[in-house]
Amino acid sequence: MNYPRLSFISICTFAVFMLGFQLKPALFEIPKTWDIAAIKQFLLPLPDGTTQVTPISESYYYSLPEMKVFKSYPIRLAGMEANRKYIDSLMTLDPVDLFESEPRTEQDLVRLGEEVFSSPLILFDYSEEFFKALNESVKSAEIPVSKNTFPYYTYVIDEKSKVKVGIFSCAMCHTRVMPDGSTIKGAQGNFPMDRMDGIDAETYAKSLPKEKLKEFDDGMRTGRKRLHGAPWVNHFSQTELDTISAAKIIAYLKAIPPGVMIRHGANYNQPASIPDLIGIKGRKYLDRTGLMMHRNIGDMMRYAAFNQTLDMLNSYNDFIPAGIDFKALTEPGKGEFVGTDKRYSEIQLFALGKYLYALKPPKNPNPSSPDIVKKGKLVFEREGCATCHTPPLYTNNKLTPVDGFNPPASHHDLYDILGMSVGTDPKLSLYTRRSTGYYKVPSLLGVWYRGPFGHSGHVATLEDWLDKRRLDDDYVPTGFKPAFSKTMAVKGHEFGLEITKEEKAALIAFLKSL
């Protein structure tokens, strides 16, 4: 992929023109994304205290080519004949470079931000093989789809007479298909990417002749070490990465349900549940572990740049996940790992941030009666939930240390820390690249349209979250159940577990009204 760079001079000239004639200047005060001083405070340190994280330099970042955002079109899951006609009609369309003319108003920004949200990192040529394989994956991986549309990928026209398939947009992971087939952009996504990857890898492995299997094993192992490696951690989940077989990786991938993901930097048995981005503006810490701070839109821009996927070029002491032999950076723009060869432009990131801030929750189609909601609110207050899940955001925006981590004194000046652990499984925040030693207090807004719950999505529903049987060793997690475990206690967060059945129903009705 070759993205021509926007001329710096033309942007400057344009900005001066806009400021002079069109806009209130404040609208276009765009923060600098790769501001090293801001990044230093933005990133929380690893909990082990000895491994330093060094992101790529400012000069490396700004010498990456900028992405272009082209108009995209939905992928319809029609029959083959209807699809041929649809593809033929797309073939006649001209590419539309959406940032060719600059946004002039706040509304323009939000509209373009939505396009950035749906804009893929990877493009490949459309083929009928792709279309057949996609239809098969929808069945084999039980992918929720929306009224015959596949909402996680798009078709993109970036060249005349060519239809490309675009994957790896923000929308791929942050779009939720509801049981009635409607989609909610920005909600906890439910594209089961890991499960699909596992099934696809398994099918592929079966098609290989025996002599190719070792190469396949080695390739899978190296690729996954890039995604999940944290070699300074002395825990089985890390040490096994050096010798793990493809078959075992596949089993791990297949165990991940919709709504949960082994995000890069996380690990097989420590995945992250996908957050709801609606309401993000009010949250002070990003990611379950509060890995990145959110002080202003500049931090949101940094979050997007890091996670899509320039954090793969961070140096953890001397380990660079997407580096050559895990050690060295390629020349800027030559990175082979998805997304490491380019960057979003500043205006694209700014527009993306504006779009995320403008996301609105959907209307609840089945509200409970006001009486029961009122009763539930009383239970919520009596049980002390509001201490942590404080209205109106339903979070106090604090970090809670995990079991096994003692915050150093300096942290109390830097971060908002609640001085108690809620006792949930600490592994995501101790043994991965996403670790900080904390879990944040999540907001409870919008729980009616999301799930599974908890940092790794171990429980499917609020009923299960408030079911004290989850504390028993013979519990079968209803959300993410690690591969190779039949049962597992989902421990910690023992709040609201001792209430009566009626109180529980009322509490849940209240939670679902938020």
Give the Cα separation of 439 and 422 in Å (integer).
Answer: 9
Q: Which is nearer to ligand HEC, 315 or 443 (CB)?
A: 443
Distance, CA of 60 to CA of 78 (rounded, Å): 44
String of contacts with ligand HEC for each residue 435-474, x by CB under 6 A: ----x-xx-x--x-----xxx------x--x---------
Which of 137, 183, 308, 435 binds ligand HEC (CB under 6 A)? It is: 308
Interface with ligand HEC (CB under 6 A), residue from 114, 194, 197, 287: 287
Please state, in angstroms and rounded to a whole number, the distance separating the CA atoms of residues 364 and 40. 40
CA 44 to chain CA centroid, nearest Å:
18
d(CA 181, CA 59): 45
343 binds ligand HEC (CB under 6 A): no
Nearest-approach distance from CB 456 to ligand HEC, in angstroms: 8
Name which position in 164, 176, 254, 283 contacts ligand HEC (CB under 6 A).
Answer: 283
Q: How far is the CB of 260 from ligand HEC (least distance, A)?
A: 8
CB 126 within 8 A of CB 188: no
Enter the tokens of residue 363: 């209307």
Sort residue 454 into left (φ over 0), alpha (ψ -120 to 50) or beta.
left
Distance CA 299, CA 182 (A): 31
Q: Other CB atoms closer than 10 Å to residue 23's CB: what's the count?
A: 15
Interface with ligand HEC in residues 154-173 (CB under 6 A): 168, 170, 172-173
Binding test (CB under 6 A) with ligand HEC, winner from 38, 249, 280, 320: 280
Neighbours of 235 (CB within 10 A): 14
310 binds ligand HEC (CB under 6 A): no
- Cβ-contact 179, 357 below 8 angstroms: no
Nearer of residues 286 and 293 to ligand HEC, judged by Cβ: 286
CB 321 within 8 A of CB 267: no
Minimal CA–CA distance to 259: which of 164, 176, 360, 330? 176
The amino acid at residue 65 is: P
Of 83 and 342, CB closest to ligand HEC? 342
| Contact between 286 and ligand HEC per CB under 6 A | yes
Q: How far is the CB of 493 from ligand HEC (least distance, A)?
A: 5
Of 83 and 411, the one with the shorter C-beta distance to ligand HEC is 411
Binding of ligand HEC by 141 (CB under 6 A):
no
Find the binder of ligand HEC among 263, 354, 377, 433 (CB under 6 A). Answer: 263
Q: Using CA atoms, how far apart are residues 189 and 172, in angstroms rounded to an integer?
A: 8
Among 267, 400, 435, 436, binds ligand HEC (CB under 6 A): 400
Minimum distance between the CB of residue 268 and ligand HEC, rounded to whole angstroms? 14
| Dihedral angle over CA of 343, 348, 349, 354, nearest 10 | -170
Say whether residue 253 binds ligand HEC (CB under 6 A).
no
Give the number of residues in contact with ligand HEC, rule: CB under 6 A. 48
- Pairwise CA distance, residues 16 & 266, whole Å: 43
* C-beta atoms surrounding 286 within 10 Å: 22
| Residue with Cβ nearer ligand HEC (83 or 451) | 451
CB 363 within 8 A of CB 355: no
User: x/- contact string, 288-307, with ligand HEC (CB under 6 A)?
Assistant: xx-------------xx--x
The one-letter amino acid at 379: V
Q: Closest distance between ligand HEC and the C-beta of residue 452, in Å? A: 8
- What residues between 49 and 68 interact with ligand HEC by CB under 6 A? none
C-alpha–C-alpha distance, residues 161 and 396, integer Å: 52
* Interacting positions 417-436 with ligand HEC (CB under 6 A): 420, 422, 424, 434
Q: Which amino acid is it at 229?
A: G
Among 249, 388, 445, 514, binds ligand HEC (CB under 6 A): 388
Q: Is the dihedral of CA 25, 26, 30, 32 positive or negative?
A: positive
| Shortest reach from residue 83's CB to ligand HEC, in Å | 25
> What minimum distance in Å lies between the beta carbon of 219 and ligand HEC?
20
- CB-nearer residue toward ligand HEC: 83 or 488: 488
Give dist(CA 417, CA 88) in Å, integer.
57
* Structure token digits, residue 161: 């007479």
Q: Which is nearer to ligand HEC, 103 or 265 (CB)?
A: 265
Nearest approach in angstroms of CB 364 to ligand HEC is 16
Q: Considering only residues 68, 164, 174, 343, which one is a binding residue for ligand HEC as defined by CB under 6 A? A: 174
Token pair listed for 383 = 């049980």
> How far lies 470's CA from each of 268, 462, 479, 492, in Å?
21, 12, 11, 9
Note the residues at the interface with ligand HEC (CB under 6 A).
168, 170, 172-174, 193, 261, 263, 272-275, 277, 280, 283, 286-289, 303-304, 307-308, 352, 383-385, 387-389, 400, 420, 422, 424, 434, 439, 441-442, 444, 447, 453-455, 462, 465, 493, 495-496
